[in-house]
């Protein structure tokens, strides 16, 4: 099981990014959170087995609703967060 923190930059707020992320997560065996940050970026914290995690992140980057809004992506592996359950949008 891996946990990643991903920051998406671009016009990623106000375009349905968080809701699309949550919808896509339903199709994968992943758990996590997604939220808007004050600097205009979106932060995704997501955990899953390596293959599921990679497939989910790839589909999100290629999704027709959000892909053209993403200008850059910063991704890092972080320590597992024991409180993660399901997948939710954090305000």
Active site residues: 18, 36
Q: What is the DSSP letter of 85?
A: -
| Separation of alpha carbons 33 and 45, rounded Å | 5
From the list 3, 13, 12, the residue with the least C-alpha distance to 80 is 3
């Amino acid at each position: 099981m891996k946990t990643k923190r991903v920051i998406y930059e671009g016009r990623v707020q106000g375009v349905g990014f968080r809701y699309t992320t949550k919808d896509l997560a339903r199709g994968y065996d992943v758990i996590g959170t997604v939220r808007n940050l004050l600097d205009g970026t979106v932060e995704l914290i997501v955990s899953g087995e390596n293959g599921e995690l990679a497939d989910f992140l790839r589909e999100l980057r290629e999704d027709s609703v959000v892909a053209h809004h993403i200008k850059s992506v910063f991704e890092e592996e972080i320590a597992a967060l024991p409180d993660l359950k399901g997948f939710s949008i954090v305000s």
